[in-house]
Amino acid sequence: MKTRAAVLHAFNQPFEIRELDLAEPRAGEALVRFVSSGVCHTDVSAAQGRLPVSPPIVLGHEGAAIVESVGPGVTSLQKGDHVVLAAEPHCGLCKYCLQGRPYWCVNFLRWSFGGIMPDGSKRLSLDGSELGHFFCQSSFSQYGVVPERIAVKVDPALPLEKLGPLGCGIQTGAGAVLNTGGVRSGDSVAVFGCGGVGLSAIMAAKIVGASPIIAVDLAESRLAMAKELGATYTINAGKVAPVEEIQKITGGGSDFAFECIGRDETVRQTVDSVGAGGTAVITGGASPQLQLNGSGLLSKTVKGNLEGSSIPGVFIPRLIAFWQDGRFPFDRLTSKTYSLEQINDSVAGMESGEVIKPLILY
């Protein structure tokens, strides 16, 4: 069948809208019609050559879709199901999957960035030449073929077009607090970076009753949004030293700090801002050359956060329930929508800081 998709032909080049050929789903796969897709900084990093992907490729990994058909052996999905597609391709068979940790699956990186489906093949092609997949999803397309394992069924009565970002950025930020960190009521929390991931962390910290909740960013507009969503203090890191300010507010350092940007400087600040016995949770990543204060680490815990340490089939419905209760207004982050043809504008809006979480509507 045919599908229109945004193709990345080379790093640091605009996406090009092309009509592609899409093969039928194979065993364990479903054909889906995308309703929407979030645009994530991970997509931008891939497009800029900062992740191990190979163009030509169709990016996108925050899709919400409707199942059109299923391949052999699929038992949990059927035509017409509404699904959120989690950015966690996993095998279900390795030791981490069997431990209930699909986010650590031994195949996660290969299937996310290697351009292939779990069986090692590809489903997209242009003029007879195959194109790479992204997170086994490639949601910058009208249609896609996806593994059954990453599809989380949701109530058809829900506004499906809003739900795609739950599959990556939002579950990553909220899961950093609720799963990876395990923040409890009364714990003090600092969040570095008020994009989609950081603001999701702030909303989750409010849900569990953390106090104080301190938001750190350079943009006053994002700090204002953080205050609306639950932050009790805001720090503009371009005007004051954030570590010293956090130590002053918390009386020596926060119980938890969350890095949601991916810069060496903010990783160091995140670790330095927690007090003795505190935990720094790093989502954005860092360069291999990063060095931390060894003596200060003796009394602290540093954790990595991949996809919010979530089991998507359990955690995404939990976040939807929080949203339905009015406690997790994640749709505030996706206030601006774009057509597929406007995808380059959506990236520019996110990169400029004008838009927190762009949403592509099909």
Residue 132 pLDDT > 60? yes
Write down the pLDDT at residue 294.
Answer: 64
Write down the pLDDT at residue 353.
Answer: 86
Average pLDDT (39-63) is 96
Residue 56 pLDDT > 60? yes
Enumerate domains of the chain plus CATH numbers. 2-167+329-361 (3.90.180.10), 173-305 (3.40.50.720)
Write down the pLDDT at residue 295.
Answer: 57
Q: What does each C-alpha distance from 207 to 204, 321, 326, 342 come to in angstroms?
A: 5, 12, 10, 35
Residue 64: pLDDT band by 50, 70, 90 thresholds?
A: very high
The phi, psi pair for 8, rounded to 5°, reads: -95, 110
107 neighbors 94 (Cβ within 8 angstroms): yes
Write down the pLDDT at residue 99.
Answer: 97
Please report, rounded to a whole number, the percentage of residues in the chain having pLDDT higher than 90: 94
Residue 44 pLDDT > 80? yes
Between the CA atoms of 184, 185, 189 and 195, what dihedral angle is there, to the nearest 10 degrees? 90
Closest to 133 (Cα-Cα) out of 22, 213, 293, 210: 22
Closest to 256 (Cα-Cα) out of 184, 171, 193: 184
pTM of the predicted structure, to 2 decimals: 0.96
Convert the pLDDT of each residue in 322-354 to its tens digit: 999 999 999 999 989 999 999 999 999 999 888
Q: What does each C-alpha distance from 283 to 273, 303, 304, 334, 355 come to in angstroms?
A: 16, 9, 6, 21, 20
Q: What does each C-alpha distance from 58 to 21, 46, 61, 241 come to in angstroms?
A: 12, 11, 10, 41
Please report, rounded to a whole number, the percentage of residues in the chain having pLDDT higher than 70: 99
Convert the pLDDT of each residue in 77-91 to its tens digit: 999 999 999 999 999
Query: 254-259 and 274-282 as β-strands: parallel, antiparallel, unpaired?
Result: parallel
Q: Is 184 exposed, middle or buried (0-12, 13-18, 19+ CB in 10 A)?
A: exposed
Residue 296 pLDDT > 90? no
Write down the pLDDT at residue 284.
Answer: 74
Write down the pLDDT at residue 72.
Answer: 98
Closest to 61 (Cα-Cα) out of 123, 150, 121, 126: 150
Average pLDDT (107-123) is 97
Residue 280: pLDDT band by 50, 70, 90 thresholds?
A: very high
Residue 163 pLDDT > 60? yes
* Token pair for 164: 């795609």
* DSSP codes joined into one string, 178-193: IIII---TT--EEEE-
Average pLDDT (156-175) is 98
Residue 319 pLDDT > 70? yes
* Average pLDDT of the chain to the nearest whole number: 96
* Token pair for 227: 């205050």
Angle formed at CA 54 by CA 107 and CA 171, multiple of 5 degrees: 50
Residue 298 pLDDT > 90? no
Alpha carbon distance 242, 261 (integer Å): 15
Alpha carbon distance 201, 50 (integer Å): 24
Task: Give the CA diameter of the chain.
Answer: 63
Residue 230 pLDDT > 60? yes
